[in-house]
């Protein structure tokens, strides 16, 4: 029986993902079996277009735990998908296919918690259509995690985690609570202890520019600072709130392993500026470990064979250790 296998949901079929998947497995050796959930026909068509020649081994989800797998082939759970050409325009036509791929992955992870999950990017506008803020929340809902989850954008030198994820800025303030800050810190602490056997040093940003406190209902005074004080009383290694425009300066960052921000771009913009593709997106709080490359479908680059596989390689290596 195979334990610790890596399930890969290919995500949006007309994105750059299969290209970077081909590049990742061609240039690197991985110990744990990698199992791709995707369309065989699309796989073959994109390999032809992108000039890859990789062998495919079809496996059934019912037999997956009883087969000895290796990475000499693309171990594929085939999901039927009709398309007109390999890199057609992204639309809602692929929604059923993507949903079916995720359903298979979630069925497998529910039976075996030793499966890891990587998913390729999806188009939130078409696939989620307002039902969830992102795949992080989509998977939480499917696993009934009741929002006790956290997005962690991870690099071994620094990780960031937004309290709110894909919300419009006008909705951020009303969605920041002491409970969410507590949850985020606890999930991050547990993850670092289990994965790295260390207690992370966590910095928390404010919400307002420069953490200004000259407002009657300042979130720093009413929510963020009280949460940090309570966490410190409980002996958590948490500091802040810090102004978001200075916490990412080199002299400040050397003191911390993780920066928790109040909204998505507050921490992801500096993270991507510092590390580019050298980061992965980890979902904390699910019953299994889920990782994804830190980029989107990138429809403009699809089919051009010029996309950088670095983030997917990092994700695979992270789970392969």
Report the CATH number that the domain containing residue 8 is assigned in CATH: 3.40.718.10
Average pLDDT over residues 270-276: 93
**Beta pairing partners, 7:** 35, 117
Are both 134 and 255 inside the same structural domain?
no
**Beta pairing partners, 290:** 117, 283
Give the highest mean pLDDT range of 208-217, 233-242, 276-285. 233-242
- Cβ pair 247, 253 in contact under 8 A: yes
**Lowest mean pLDDT segment, chosen from 4-8, 131-135, 207-211, 238-242:** 131-135
Q: pLDDT > 90: what percent of the chain? A: 70
pLDDT digits (tens, 9 = 90+) for 59-69: 988 777 667 88
Are both 170 and 133 inside the same structural domain?
no
Are both 117 and 231 inside the same structural domain?
no
Average pLDDT over residues 196-212: 93
pLDDT of 214 above 70: no
Torsions phi, psi of 244, nearest 5?
A: -70, -20
Are both 92 and 181 inside the same structural domain?
no
Are both 140 and 289 inside the same structural domain?
yes
Are both 273 and 294 inside the same structural domain?
no
Are both 179 and 99 inside the same structural domain?
no
- Cβ pair 231, 189 in contact under 8 A: no
| Cβ atoms within 10 Å of 300's Cβ, excluding its own | 8
pLDDT score at 8? 97
Are both 161 and 194 inside the same structural domain?
yes
What is the pairing mode between strands 34-38 and 238-242?
unpaired
pLDDT score at 1? 40
pLDDT score at 153? 95
| Residue 154: its H or E element | strand 150-154
Are both 49 and 113 inside the same structural domain?
yes
pLDDT score at 136? 83
Torsions phi, psi of 299, nearest 5?
A: -55, -35
pLDDT digits (tens, 9 = 90+) for 102-113: 999 999 988 877
- Cβ pair 259, 225 in contact under 8 A: no
Are both 95 and 133 inside the same structural domain?
yes
- Domain around 254: 152-278
Number of folded domains in the chain? Answer: 2
Give the highest mean pLDDT range of 145-154, 204-213, 267-276. 267-276
Q: pLDDT > 70: what percent of the chain? A: 96
Q: What is the largest CA-CA distance in the chain?
A: 64
Average pLDDT, the chain: 91
pLDDT digits (tens, 9 = 90+) for 135-146: 888 888 888 766
pLDDT of 320 above 80: yes
pLDDT score at 2? 46
pLDDT of 3 above 60: no
pLDDT score at 293? 85
- Cβ pair 262, 164 in contact under 8 A: yes
CA geometry: angle 177, 182, 183, nearest 5 deg: 95
C-alpha–C-alpha distance, residues 108 and 102, integer Å: 10
pLDDT digits (tens, 9 = 90+) for 6-60: 999 999 999 999 999 999 999 899 999 999 999 999 999 999 999 999 999 999 8
Are both 234 and 182 inside the same structural domain?
yes
Are both 291 and 145 inside the same structural domain?
yes
């Amino acid at each position: 029986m195979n334990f610790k296998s890596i399930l890969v949901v290919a995500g949006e079929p007309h994105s750059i993902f299969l290209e970077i998947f081909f590049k990742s497995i061609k240039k690197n050796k991985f110990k744990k079996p990698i199992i791709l959930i995707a369309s065989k026909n699309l796989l073959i068509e994109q390999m032809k277009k992108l000039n890859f020649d990789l062998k495919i081994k079809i496996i059934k989800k019912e037999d997956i735990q009883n087969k000895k797998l290796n990475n000499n082939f693309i171990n594929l759970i085939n999901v039927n998908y009709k398309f007109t050409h390999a890199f057609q325009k992204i639309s809602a036509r692929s929604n059923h296919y993507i949903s079916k791929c995720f359903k298979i992955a979630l069925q497998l992870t529910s039976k075996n918690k030793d499966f890891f999950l990587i998913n390729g990017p999806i188009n939130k506008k078409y696939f989620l259509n307002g039902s969830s803020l992102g795949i992080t929340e989509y998977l939480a809902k499917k696993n009934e995690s009741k929002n006790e989850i956290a997005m962690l954008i991870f690099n071994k030198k620094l990780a960031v985690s937004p309290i709110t994820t894909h919300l419009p800025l006008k909705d951020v303030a009303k969605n920041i609570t002491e409970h969410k800050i507590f949850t985020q810190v606890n999930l991050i602490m547990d993850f670092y202890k289990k994965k790295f056997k260390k207690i992370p040093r966590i910095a928390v940003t404010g919400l307002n520019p420069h953490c200004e406190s000259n407002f009657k209902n300042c979130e720093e005074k009413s929510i963020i600072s009280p949460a940090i004080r309570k966490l410190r009383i409980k002996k958590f290694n948490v500091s802040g709130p810090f102004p978001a425009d200075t916490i990412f300066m080199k002299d400040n960052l050397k003191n911390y392993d993780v920066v928790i921000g109040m909204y998505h771009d507050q921490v992801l913009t500096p993270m991507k500026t510092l590390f580019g593709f050298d980061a992965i997106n980890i979902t904390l709080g699910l019953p299994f470990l889920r990782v994804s490359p830190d980029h989107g479908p990138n429809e403009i680059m699809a089919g051009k064979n010029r996309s950088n596989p670095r983030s997917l390689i990092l994700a695979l290596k992270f789970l392969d250790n």
